[in-house]
């Protein structure tokens, strides 16, 4: 067995009696031919690679049953008939196909075909002629219409046509008599075919994000319907015929123009999820109280000013969204919701905390942000199951002591209040994992936080903190720390000893600007995200190059003149942002960053090399290629310039010239000592130029040499080189 074949065999495994080979996310540009030498190969996955085509040798895999090749760059598929007679599942989604491959017609055993997220414009007739196909997924393409389906199809159960270009739906869809799920969301439909009621087995119908002004009456004859999606349309009325959909389990009417829900909705006895968010509703019909099976109710972003007490008898309710209304109090009957686990009352204008909330024993998530609360009830501590509490953007000046009794709390958001400290009892929140506390009035880092070793995310941005305690190192589980927009005079080195830190944010858009970063930053060897934007950094320490796991480096809006050398050592880098600095020249090494997938931004710099239009594209390969060619030409020009003038410069000007060029004193002294005496003195000038090029690297340019010669009074020589450069630039152009 060859080594290549042996490696592939080692990747194989067996699942439910099928030999499987998973080659996903390997950077493959071709499927290894040896893959098809594996005996009885039934499942092949090559997703998340760089395949451009599926070669004809796919025919060699006659026993293949499952072929998954999503998230590639496939533009073509074998055009001739392929002998994959046993193929039952084919996934070619998220590729670049412009048509459904005609060769698939010979795959008679297909049950599942996924061609979502390509560039397909037409559906061929044979797609509805497969005798075994149960799922056909063609969402997120450019399809405008269905083909004529001449005879009834008795096998297709699911048809996905979401996010296409349909303006009308052909009546031939009604020949898909076994259809159970039809997804047409994200098109431009205004009506449905009259014969839709022939789809007697249809259970899921999604028509969200279309242009319906009314609910098509044909829908009310679909008695098997379990889920109906009509969100994000222009519907203004729900007819009383809605009651005919007695089996309805999920009804989504969100973001329409509905002012009133009919009483007949109360007859939908099986309804478990009702979403009417984003409608101008002012009242809830009392009949909704009969919905005994209701588990989730979304009435957010409406015009409600009160919550009907009758509705509190939906005792099975688990999720209730009343956000963005004008509800200022809750009825006493609200306590009947004994198993309610999620309650959203954010953005209602609440000034007084509704104490009845403290009587909900099963509550796990309570959202009260964007109100006008100044305190909460002392009874809040009774919510022993509460895991998430958001109180952002209220008017708290003192920390509510009752919060410290929430022994199960894992997430606490107090963003945008006026809190100046945390009480010592805060340490009682032993389950707290995430604390969001930006935009408050803290001047000193709360010592109590250093005793909360379980913290994983801590956000203290937008406060007035000037220094950090050494005990920060005790936060051994802390992975994310945001200290942006505070008052640090220097880089807080205390963060460099937080052992598990993976994300550090120190952008200072509205805080005191940092002038430099301490070399200890290199100790954060697990760091994956570093945000140092909006400071006044002119350089970065070389130790930054030790951050081998760093994926995101944000340096925009600083005063960097060059791309730090340490950056090219960051082999895991996927995002580098350098916008609005002072960088005129990008280094040749820029093309080495993280491969082609790196997100590189350097707009808003005084770019000379490469020019701004190339930098704006953000593609590191073209940028690197341009700089590479420019460097070669520039080095050649500088070499010719030096050869032309090096023996014309007076030896007495040695120190004056090279001091202006920025050569170090130690280097100049070493050259003078090495080339002592008259017989060797002529070599000092060439050696000085060599030192200049070595020390200044890409800053040792022809333009800089011309400028310095003019500056020290060698104007004639400077003019000659300027003319030489002008001729070279003309040839380049």
- From its phi and psi, is residue 468 left (phi > 0), alpha (psi between -120 and 50) or beta? beta
Please name every residue paired with 19 in a beta bridge, in sequence order, or none if there are none: 14, 41
Say whether both 464 and 573 belong to one domain.
Answer: yes
Task: Identify the CATH number of the domain in which residue 542 sits.
Answer: 3.80.10.10
Compute the distance between CA of residue 109 and CA of residue 250 in angstroms, rounded to an integer. 34
Q: Are 301 and 318 in contact (CB under 8 A)?
A: no
Question: How many domains is the chain partitioned into structurally?
Answer: 2
Whether 229 contacts 209, CB under 8 Å: no
Which of 601, 618, 635 is where one domain is finished?
618
Q: Is residue 21 part of a domain?
A: no
Q: Is the pLDDT of residue 733 over 60?
A: no
pLDDT number for residue 5? 45
Boundary of a domain, candidates 569, 602, 618: 618
Amino acid 6: pLDDT: 45
**What are the tens digits of pLDDT across the range 167-186?**
999 999 999 999 999 999 99
Domain-located, residue 490: yes
471 and 536 part of one domain: yes
404 is a domain residue: no
Higher per-residue pLDDT: 729 or 526:
526
**pLDDT tens, position by position, 24-48:** 988 898 888 777 777 788 899 999 9
Q: Which of 571, 600, 618 is the last residue of a domain?
A: 618
DSSP 189-234: -----GGGGG-TT--EEE--SS--SS--GGGGG-TT--EEE--SS-
Answer yes or no: do 611 and 663 share one domain: no
| Triad 493, 497, 502: Cα angle to 5° | 100
Shared domain check, 581 and 447? yes
Specify whether 603 is located in the same domain as 486: yes
From the list 732, 225, 224, 198, the residue with the least C-alpha distance to 207 is: 225
Is the CB of residue 53 less than 8 Å from the CB of residue 38?
no
Residue 681 has pLDDT above 70, yes or no: no
Does residue 668 share a domain with residue 557? no
Confidence of residue 2 (pLDDT cuts 50, 70, 90): very low
* 660 & 523 share domain: no
Helix (H, G, I), strand (E, B) or coil at 91: strand
- Name which of 77-81, 321-325, 540-544, 729-733 the model is least confident about: 729-733
DSSP for 523-540, written as a single string: G-TT--EEE--SS--S--
pLDDT per position as a tens digit, 280-336:
998 889 899 899 999 999 999 999 999 888 888 888 999 999 999 999 999 999 999
In a domain, 39, yes or no: no
pLDDT, averaged across the chain: 89
pLDDT range class, residue 63, cuts 50, 70, 90: confident
Note whether 459 and 602 are same-domain residues. yes
* Domain range enclosing 684: 646-731
> In this structure, are 598 and 724 located in the same domain?
no
Above pLDDT 70, what percent of the chain? 92
CATH number for the domain including 690? 1.10.533.10
For residue 99, is it within any domain?
no
| Same structural domain, 521 and 602 | yes
Q: Which residue bears the tokens 């350098």?
A: 578
Q: Is 505 helix (H, G, I), strand (E, B) or coil?
A: strand
Q: How does pLDDT run across 587-602, given as a tens digit for each residue?
A: 766 766 655 567 888 8
Quick check: helix, strand or coil at residue 169?
coil
**Does 473 fall in a domain?**
yes
Q: How far is CA 336 from the centre of its chain?
A: 40
Q: Is residue 375 part of a domain?
A: no
Are 610 and 663 contained in the same domain? Answer: no
Residue 669 has pLDDT above 50, yes or no: yes
In a domain, residue 576? The reply is yes
579 and 707 assigned to the same domain: no
């Amino acid at each position: 067995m060859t080594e290549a074949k042996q490696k592939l065999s080692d990747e194989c495994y067996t699942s439910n009696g099928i030999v499987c080979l998973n080659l996903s996310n390997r950077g493959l540009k071709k499927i290894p031919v040896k893959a098809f030498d594996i005996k009885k190969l039934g499942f092949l996955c090559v997703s998340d690679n760089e395949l451009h085509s599926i070669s004809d040798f796919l025919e060699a895999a006659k026993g293949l049953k499952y072929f998954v090749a999503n998230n590639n760059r496939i533009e073509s598929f074998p055009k001739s008939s392929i002998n994959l007679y046993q193929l039952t599942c084919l996934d070619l989604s998220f590729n670049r196909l412009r048509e459904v491959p005609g060769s698939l017609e010979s795959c008679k055993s297909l049950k599942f075909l996924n061609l979502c997220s390509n560039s397909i414009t037409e559906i061929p007739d044979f797609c509805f002629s497969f005798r075994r196909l149960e799922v056909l997924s063609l969402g997120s393409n450019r399809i405008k219409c269905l083909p004529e389906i001449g005879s009834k199809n008795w096998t297709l159960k699911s048809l996905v046509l979401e996010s296409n270009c349909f303006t009308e739906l052909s009546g031939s869809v009604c020949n898909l008599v076994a259809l159970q799920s039809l997804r047409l969301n994200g098109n431009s439909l205004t009506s449905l075919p009259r014969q839709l009621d022939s789809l007697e087995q249809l259970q899921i119908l999604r028509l969200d994000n279309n242009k319906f002004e009314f609910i098509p009456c044909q829908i009310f004859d679909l008695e098997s319907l379990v889920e109906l999606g009509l969100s994000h349309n222009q519907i203004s009325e729900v007819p009383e015929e809605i009651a005919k959909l007695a089996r309805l389990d999920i009804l989504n009417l969100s973001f329409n123009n509905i002012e009133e829900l009919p009483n007949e909705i109360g007859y939908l006895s099986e309804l478990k999820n009702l979403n009417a968010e984003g409608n101008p509703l002012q009242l809830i019909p009392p009949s909704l109280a009969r919905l005994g099976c209701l588990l989730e109710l979304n009435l957010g972003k409406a015009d409600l000013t009160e919550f009907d007490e009758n509705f509190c008898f939906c005792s099975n309710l688990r999720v209730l969204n009343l956000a963005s209304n004008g509800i200022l109090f809750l009825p006493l009957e609200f306590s009947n919701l004994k198993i309610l686990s999620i309650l959203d009352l954010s953005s209602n204008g609440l000034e007084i905390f509704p104490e009845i909330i403290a009587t909900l024993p099963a509550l796990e998530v309570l959202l009260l942000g964007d109100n006008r609360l100044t305190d909460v009830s002392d009874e809040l501590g009774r919510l022993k199951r509460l895991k998430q509490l958001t109180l952002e953007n209220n008017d708290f000046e003192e920390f509510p002591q009752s919060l410290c009794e929430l022994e199960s709390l894992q997430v606490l958001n107090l963003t945008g209040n006026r809190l100046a400290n945390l009480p010592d009892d805060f340490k009682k929140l032993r389950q707290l994992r995430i604390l969001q506390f930006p935009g408050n009035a803290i001047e000193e880092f709360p010592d109590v936080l250093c005793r909360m070793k379980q913290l994983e995310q801590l956000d203290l941005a937008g406060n007035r903190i000037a220094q950090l305690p050494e005990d920060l190192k005790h936060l051994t589980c802390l992975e994310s720390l945001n200290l942006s927009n505070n008052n640090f005079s220097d880089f807080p080195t205390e963060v460099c000893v937080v052992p598990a830190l993976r994300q550090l944010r120190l952008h200072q858009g509205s805080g005191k600007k940092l002038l430099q970063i301490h070399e200890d930053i290199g100790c954060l060897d697990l760091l994956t995200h570093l945000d140092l934007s909006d400071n006044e950094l002119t350089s970065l320490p070389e130790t930054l190059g030790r951050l081998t796991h760093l994926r995101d480096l944000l340096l925009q809006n600083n005063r960097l003149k060059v791309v730090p050398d340490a950056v090219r050592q960051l082999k895991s880098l996927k995002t580098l942002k350098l916008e609005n600095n002072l960088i005129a020249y990008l280094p040749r090494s820029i093309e080495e960053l993280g491969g082609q997938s790196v997100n590189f931004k350097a707009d808003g710099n005084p770019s000379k090399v490469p020019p701004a239009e190339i930098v704006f594209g953000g593609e590191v390969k073209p940028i690197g290629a341009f700089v590479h060619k420019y460097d070669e030409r520039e080095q050649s020009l500088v070499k010719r310039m030096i050869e032309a003038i090096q023996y014309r410069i007076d030896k007495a000007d040695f120190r004056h010239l090279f001091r202006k060029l920025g050569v170090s004193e130690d280097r100049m002294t070493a050259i003078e000592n090495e080339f002592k005496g008259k017989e060797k003195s002529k070599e000092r000038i060439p050696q000085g130029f060599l030192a200049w090029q070595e020390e200044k690297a890409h800053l040792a340019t022809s333009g800089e040499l011309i400028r310095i010669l003019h500056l020290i009074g060698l104007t004639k020589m400077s003019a000659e080189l300027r003319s030489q450069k002008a001729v070279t630039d003309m040839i380049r152009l």
